[in-house]
């Protein structure tokens, strides 16, 4: 039996196990997906290698700490965070599939970010992945963040094609934008939105990284403005799909994984 899993703290809320196990069932794989709350990234990676675990997803607070114990691929090294570890090599190889969560979500909905004027709200882990994804796909990206210095650090890391500003810059950027990504947690625990409804418009695509609730206030107000909306469950799905394909070398059964994920939401 192959064992895959997730390390983080906390991970009890994770929707990943049923999603991945739906893929194993669909493809007739003898595999399980389990969750761990280790005391540290190093201990987790070493234990996983000793136990013969085939692959791990990595979430808060270990996405940066794990760098000291794995060999990041060039993309993960650029982003500065690892969320997927493959143990088929020595040392284990680290990947960032959050970027694919953005690009594959857009592609699934026939949205091409090439040449788009995009706005990403938030400059944390999800924001970093979104900005790298969109710039690599050919978009120009403005990063709006509560703490300006954090947005500026991200823009400096990404380079050409990006600008930074505080949240007040949304007033100037969103009305002319083609694509808006909420990479903050606003809307998860309260019925609030990071972007005022008056800025939303019908020529805009809105991707919200928040997946619980699936329909956030931002997405409701975007739909009311006749914008195209993509909920955060698609991002969660496709980062998992990408991880599955990294670990197994097989094409993931996307529809089965999507059904298993949405049954929990």
Task: Determine whether 89 is exposed, middle or buried from the number of CB atoms within 10 Å of its CB (0-12, 13-18, 19+).
Answer: exposed
63 belongs to the catalytic site: yes
Dist CA 169 CA 101 (whole Å): 26
Catalytic, out of 20, 63, 128, 217:
63
Say which residues have a Cβ less than 8 Å from residue 119's Cβ, sequence separation at least 6.
141, 142, 143, 144, 170, 173, 174, 177, 179, 180, 181
Q: 198 with 171: CB under 8 angstroms?
A: no
**Sheet strands side by side (includes 179-182):** 162-165, 140-144, 117-121, 179-182, 205-208, 228-230
Q: 87 with 35: CB under 8 angstroms?
A: no
Sign of the alpha-carbon dihedral angle for 249, 253, 258, 263: negative
- Catalytic residue positions? 63
């Amino acid at each position: 039996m192959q064992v895959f899993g997730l390390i983080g703290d906390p991970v009890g809320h994770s929707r990943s196990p049923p999603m991945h196990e739906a893929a194993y069932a669909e493809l007739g794989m003898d595999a399980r997906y389990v969750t761990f709350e280790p005391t540290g990234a190093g201990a987790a990676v070493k234990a996983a290698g000793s136990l013969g675990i085939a692959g791990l997803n990595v979430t808060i607070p270990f996405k940066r700490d794990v760098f000291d114990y794995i060999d990041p691929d060039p993309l993960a090294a650029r982003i500065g965070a690892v969320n997927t570890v493959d143990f088929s090599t020595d040392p284990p190889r680290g990947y960032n599939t959050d970027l694919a969560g953005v690009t594959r979500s857009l592609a699934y909905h026939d949205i091409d970010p090439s040449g788009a004027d995009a706005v990403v709200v938030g400059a944390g882990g999800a924001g970093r992945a979104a900005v790298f994804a969109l710039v690599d796909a050919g978009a120009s990206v403005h990063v709006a963040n509560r703490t300006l210095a954090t947005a500026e650090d991200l823009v400096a890391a990404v380079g050409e094609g990006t600008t930074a500003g505080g949240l007040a810059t949304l007033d100037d950027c969103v009305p002319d934008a083609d694509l808006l990504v909420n990479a903050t947690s606003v809307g998860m625990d309260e019925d609030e939105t990071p972007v005022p409804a008056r800025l939303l418009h019908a020529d805009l695509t809105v991707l919200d990284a928040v997946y619980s609730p699936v329909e956030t206030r931002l997405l409701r107000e975007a739909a009311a403005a006749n914008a195209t909306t993509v909920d955060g469950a698609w991002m969660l799905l496709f980062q998992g799909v990408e991880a599955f394909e990294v670990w197994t070398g097989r094409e993931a059964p996307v529809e089965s994984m999507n059904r298993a994920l949405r049954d929990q939401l």
